[in-house]
Amino acid sequence: MADDDLQGLVRRRLWELGVTADEASRRSRWVVPAQTIQRMAQRGGRSFISAGLARHLARALGVPENRVRRAAGLPPVDPGETIATGPHLRLVRREDQRHLD
């Protein structure tokens, strides 16, 4: 069942975006080969993706990673793990500005 879901997702997103398998491969920064994307979209084409490939396929299709994982039958990732945060900064006032407030 997961193969059909993944196949439908890939086929539908290629059509919605109006892109070819080559363009989708470029969107994934060439991590997912165009032949693999084409095979995933073909009727009757069976494909298996690993957890590591799900992120790159999601980038190629322009969908959240958990959507690809759900279609492929993989466990979801915690959304907090994929959020990149910068260092926490604290504002410090100079002494002369403190008296003006």
In this prediction, residue 70 carries a pLDDT of: 92
Please report, for the chain, the start and end positions of each structural domain, with discontinuous segments joined by +.
2-82
Task: Give the ranges where 1-101 is alpha helix by DSSP (H).
Answer: 2-17, 21-27, 34-41, 51-61, 65-72, 95-98
Contact call for residues 7 and 41 (beta carbons, < 8 A): yes
Q: What is the CATH number of domain 2-82?
A: 1.10.260.40
DSSP 78: P
In this prediction, residue 45 carries a pLDDT of: 59
Per-residue pLDDT tens listing for the chain (101 residues)? 456 789 999 999 999 999 999 999 999 999 999 999 999 888 765 667 888 899 999 999 999 999 999 999 999 987 665 555 556 666 666 666 555 55
Token pair 């959240």 in the structure block, residue:
64
Threshold 0.85, pTM exceeds: no
